[in-house]
């Protein structure tokens, strides 16, 4: 993804919107979605984007993954706030 262009920035915003929408459907993650919304209201929609590991890192989190079952460790949700 090319986040340096206007199209890339719009794609980044759409990715966060979809992610937040998916979080809102999970009662145990709704608070995280609300927190991201607050950060967007403070820093702007273009300042918040999802963190993706490097190619050699662990797999990217998929927003549609089922919540962890009992005994399974919950995945971390990572996002980045950038100021320009």
pLDDT at 5 over 90: no
- Determine, yes or no, domain membership for 1: no
Q: What's the mean per-residue pLDDT of the chain?
A: 78
- Determine, yes or no, domain membership for 68: yes
Question: Which domain covers residue 66, as residue numbers?
Answer: 6-81
Residue bearing the bigger pLDDT, 47 or 3? 47
Answer positive or negative: Cα dihedral of 64, 53, 71, 31: negative
pTM of the model: 0.63
Domains in the chain, number: 1
Residue bearing the bigger pLDDT, 2 or 30? 30
Question: What's residue 60's pLDDT?
Answer: 45
- Determine, yes or no, domain membership for 16: yes
- Determine, yes or no, domain membership for 35: yes
Contacts of 3 (CB under 8 A, 6+ apart): 9, 11, 12, 49
């Amino acid at each position: 993804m090319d986040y340096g262009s206007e199209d890339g920035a719009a794609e980044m915003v759409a990715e966060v919107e979809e992610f937040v929408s998916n979080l809102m459907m999970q009662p145990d993650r709704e608070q995280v979605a609300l927190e991201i919304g607050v950060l967007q209201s403070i820093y702007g929609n273009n300042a918040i984007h999802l963190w993706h590991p490097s190619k050699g890192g662990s797999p990217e989190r998929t927003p549609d993954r089922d919540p962890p079952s009992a005994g399974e460790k919950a995945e971390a949700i990572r996002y980045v706030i950038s100021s320009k």
